[in-house]
Amino acid sequence: MPLAPAEADSAGAAPYPARELAPGVFAVVGDTGRGSEGRPNAGFLVTAEGVVVIDALASPAQGARLLATIRAATRQPVRWLVLTHHHPDHHFGAVALRRAGAKVIAHPDRRTLASEGGDDALAADWTGVVGAEAMRGFQYANAPDRPVTGTDTLRLGGRTLVISHPGAAHSPGDLIVWLPKERVLFAGDLLVEDGVTMVVDGDSRLLLDALATLDGQNPRVVVPGHGAIPEKPATLVATTRRYLTQLQSDMRSAVERGVPMQRAIASLPPADGDRPVSLNSRRRRNAVRVYLEEERRFMGLDASP
């Protein structure tokens, strides 16, 4: 019997571990204990009229395994893929879902620091990270069929997903996915397991605003972009908030006292040159970014409130 295209794409791929967070709502659990360097989390929702996938992982090979994970849970067709943002580790597997029939829901602003050299350079760089074998069959598939810049409610098979842009907090194209009935929230990289999410593509104050939004929704379960699903969502939100507010206050006081950036960040361990998202690298790069934010504000260059 000839395979349907979706089956062909996931054929031979081993499923990832999945955890059912509510009936029909699954987290595809990535690495834990590796911060932003680990394989990200993804998720999917099974409805009577098809599947909605949240994030696509870091390569076509990982996308195929994600598809195999979905196939192990349901025969329903894959209808939608929602991307929480446009960093390669969250969408370079999208082509596998797209070939399986998914239409893409994403924020249309795909700009990131990593993509400043253009799409081809980013794909080449990323091949250096995940390897040529994992990238076989790669095509960009993160341009939205259904763009979201505010709030969009997707209804499918009796289920409801509220997809919204929380501001350019972690990156310009951030989206969060909220299942109001199940009270499950997919936060993308607004949250990572160690509380040190990157703001080099975003803005620390907008991230704090976004955290207030997450808290206000009072989720039962929150799925961070990377790492363990916290026992209590509010705890991870609070850890992230504490880190950011402390960093802001340290950098603000340095700027106000005329301390140059190099001295203000001197107490932090150096960034790991070959590991741009290691914990040390994230701490250091965030400190530089937040120093610049505070400097702009101090000099009155910042138009935002």
Minimal distance in Å, beta carbon 277 to Zn ion?
8
What is the residue-wise DSSP string for 240-290?
Answer: HHHHHHHHHHHHHHHHHTT--HHHHTTTSPPP-TT-TTSHHHHHHHHHHHH
Instruction: Report if residue 165 touches Zn ion, rule: CB under 5 A.
Output: no
Minimal distance in Å, beta carbon 142 to Zn ion?
13
Segment interacting with Zn ion (CB under 5 A) among 48-56, 82-90, 143-151, 280-288: 82-90
Instruction: Report if residue 87 touches Zn ion, rule: CB under 5 A.
Output: yes
Distances (CA, A) of 211 to 69, 206, 234, 252: 30, 9, 10, 20
Closest CB to Zn ion among residues 21, 190: 190
Among 189, 250, 293, 294, binds Zn ion (CB under 5 A): 189
Say which amino acid occupies 219.
P
Closest CB to Zn ion among residues 140, 298: 140
Segment interacting with Zn ion (CB under 5 A) among 8-16, 87-95, 97-105, 141-149: 87-95
Minimal distance in Å, beta carbon 7 to Zn ion?
30
Minimal distance in Å, beta carbon 170 to Zn ion?
6
- The long-range contacts involving 1-8, CB below 8 angstroms and separated by at least 24 positions, are 5/99, 5/100, 5/101, 6/67, 6/71, 6/77, 6/78, 6/99, 6/100, 6/101, 7/71
Closest CB to Zn ion among residues 9, 189: 189
| Site size for Zn ion (CB under 5 A) | 2
Q: How far, in Å, CA of 33 to CA of 194, rounded? A: 8
Segment interacting with Zn ion (CB under 5 A) among 20-28, 79-87, 136-144, 293-301: 79-87
Q: How far, in Å, CA of 160 to CA of 171, rounded? A: 25
Summarize as ranges the residues that interact with Zn ion (CB under 5 A): 87, 189
